[in-house]
Amino acid sequence: MQVTIHAAKTNLSKLIDAALSGEEVVIAKGRKPVVKIVPITQSSFKIGLLKGQITGDGPDFFEPMNEGEIATWEGSE
């Protein structure tokens, strides 16, 4: 479906619904197509996705750094 900018302003929610249902929606300036409305892929975020898959102990961020780590951090090594 191709619509003019004026028609897109008037019918934006209908055009969004059409794009979400898989229809190609193009907005034209005059007769020249300039933009396309496409749905954004929704991905679900799952907390704990890697639970049980990561082994070993990670770094302890509350432990003080040793002298070598401090030197590396400060760029003097």
User: What whole-number distance in Å separates Cα of residue 42 and Cα of residue 37?
Assistant: 15
How many CA atoms lie less than 13 Å away from 65 in the CB half-sphere?
8
Does the pLDDT value for residue 8 go beyond 70?
yes
pLDDT of residue 17: 96
Residue 66 CA, chain-centre distance (Å), reads 38
Q: Is residue 27 part of a domain?
A: yes
User: What whole-number distance in Å separates Cα of residue 1 and Cα of residue 38?
Assistant: 12
Q: Is residue 77 part of a domain?
A: no
pLDDT of residue 77: 61
pLDDT tens for 12-69 read 999 999 999 999 999 999 999 999 999 988 777 778 877 877 777 777 788 898 899 8
Domain range spanning residue 7?
A: 2-37
Q: Is residue 19 part of a domain?
A: yes
Domain count, the chain: 1
Q: Is residue 29 part of a domain?
A: yes
